[in-house]
Structure 1
Amino acid sequence: MTARPTTSKGLRTRAHLLDCGREVFARDGYVDARMSDVAEVAEISMGGLYRYFANKEELFAQVIADLHEQFYQASTAREHDFATEPYEALVEANRGYLALYRERRDVMRAFIQAAHVVDRFRDYWWQMRTRHVKRFVAALERVHGITRVNGVDAALAAESVACMVEQSAYVWFAQQSLHGAEVDLEDATRVVAHAWYATFFSPPVDEPAPGGVRLTQTRPRPA
């Protein structure tokens, strides 16, 4: 593994190479991308590129690590309080996730491809989704005291909805050409946010609402 640069020039060069690598992976996919293509786009020698990244796998790993953190931050509700506005907070968080997924759809398509052929990226994919699920489950228990949903562990329920959102984003955005139609971001957001809300805040008719709070199957859309 190569050493991370410490000078301002080195850091700028590394960031430039990551941008160029992201461009090549988005264009060609993980399997077909080549370091020589990255060097060409970056207008740097192969030797110069290898001083920063030992191989394609290392370069892509950093591209995905950066994207992982961006997703984690993008799917954080900052304008709405999950305690008092759970539906609105879920809309905000899911909009952030889906908007970034749509923006980075080509890189995400390459990532899913890589996860099927390289164990390291399969593990990255697992870590990414697990981190998101654990954050939600922890907040659900801490803020609303919910640990079980319809008789099952809330973590299992969260995994199921997270899978739905992840696969929906992949179909709607990463595979838009196969889907055959562009999905409006707001429509996508409302669909998945409603699924989260209905799963955790709309109890069966014969069960009381969690914490004694009056909840209904649907809520009006925020203004």
Structure 2
Amino acid sequence: MPHQPNTTKGRRTRTKLLEAARSVFARDGYVGATMSGVATEAGMSLGGLYRYFSDKEDLFAALIADTHDDLFRASGATEHRIEDDPYQALLEANTGYLTHYYDNRDIMRTLVEAANVDPRFRDFWWQMRNRHIDRFTTVLKLKCAVEVVDGVDVRGTVEALACMVEQSAYVWYAQEEMQRAPMPIEEGANIVTRIWHRAFFGDDH
């Protein structure tokens, strides 16, 4: 069983190992990353690493454990209420999501790779996206009385638009070195927000 540190030194060591893991996963990807590579990056013995994490999957799971909750909170912390000012509420939600995605773009890029090769992380990714979709669907139904969009249950439209934002974030930020020019978060948030607003509220802001 991996060691769960209960001392200040142990917690610092674990944090150091997670920082090293982040660098290795970002550099080598999920498939290419190895426990020995993380140990080397951290300047620690392989045996010492195994005291804290049982395998690569356990290590990556620990690395992404907080990212989902932080992303969910970032996209839900809006000052404006959607029933009062839908455009501003959507803009704040999208800005929060894209900002947090950008700050964790190395982890998010690796998560996409991991989800394609490991059922554990495929399930994690699926639950993560559905949590966003379910929340916004509920908000539209309860606060805006939007049940149907062009004859289709509103959840289908929410899911399609959530996929658009997720893939846009992946292309703009997780693969930013392939872009001809950087996509500023403010501009990206405005682009996706205009599309969301038109879909659910009928006209542009």
Give the alignment's TM-score, normalised by structure 1: 0.86
Aligned residue in 2 for 1:152: 152
Residue 218 of structure 1 aligns with which residue?
204
Partners of 2:23 and 2:79 lie apart in 1 by 32
Runs of 4+ in 1 over 6 A off after TM superposition: none
Q: Report the number of matched residues.
A: 205
**Aligned equivalents of 1:24 and 1:17: distance in 2?**
10
Pairwise CA distance, 1:19: 1.9
Distance 1:46 1:137, change over 3 A: same
Q: CA RMSD of the aligned region, Å?
A: 1.6
State yes or no: 1:32 paired with 2:32: yes
2:13 corresponds in structure 1 to 13
Match of 1:164 in 2: 164
Structure 1 segment 73-92 matched on structure 2, within 5 A:
73-92=73-92
Q: Match for 1:127: what amino acid?
A: Q
Counterpart residue number, 1:4: 4
The separation in 1 between residues aligned to 2:20 and 2:112, in whole angstroms, is: 19
Task: Specify the code of the residue in structure 2 equivalent to 1:141.
Answer: K
Cα displacement (A) at 1:122 = 1.1
Q: Quote the Cα distance in structure 1 between the aligned partners of 2:82 and 2:93.
A: 10
Cα offset, 1:3, TM superposition? 5.0
Instruction: Tell me the alpha carbon deviations over residues 40-98 of structure 1, each in whole angstroms, 9 at most, x when there is no partner.
Output: 22222212211111011111112122211121111123322222122111111111111
Query: Could you say what secondary structure the match of 1:59 adopts?
Result: helix
The unaligned stretches of length 5 or more in structure 1 are 203-216
Q: Distance in 1 between matches of 2:204 and 2:23?
A: 41
Query: Any residues of structure 2 matched to 1:108-123 within 5 Å, and which?
Result: 108-123=108-123
Pick which of 75-84 and 26-35 moved more: 75-84
2:98 match: secondary structure: helix
Does 1:178 find its partner at 2:178?
A: yes
TM-superposed CA distance for 1:161, in Å, is: 0.1
Give, in angstroms, the shift of residue 37 of structure 1.
1.7
Contact 1:77 1:90 in 2 (8 A): no
Unmatched tracts of structure 2, length 5 or more = none
> In the alignment, what sits opposite 1:209?
none
Shifted more, 10-19 versus 132-141: the winner is 10-19
Aligned amino acid, residue 162 of structure 1: A
Q: Counterpart of 1:44 in 2: which secondary structure?
A: coil
Instruction: Pick the structure with more helix per residue.
Output: 2
Q: CA deviation at 1:127?
A: 0.8
CA–CA distance in structure 2, aligned partners of residues 12 and 139 of structure 1 = 40
Is 2:131 aligned against 1:131? yes
Higher alpha-carbon Rg: 1
Q: Distance in 1 between matches of 2:29 and 2:187?
A: 28
Task: Using the TM superposition, name which of 75-84 and 148-157 deviates more.
Answer: 75-84
Distance 1:149 1:140, change over 3 A: same
TM-score by length of 2: 0.93
Q: What is the deviation of 1:178?
A: 2.6
Q: Which residue of 2 aligns with 1:56?
A: 56
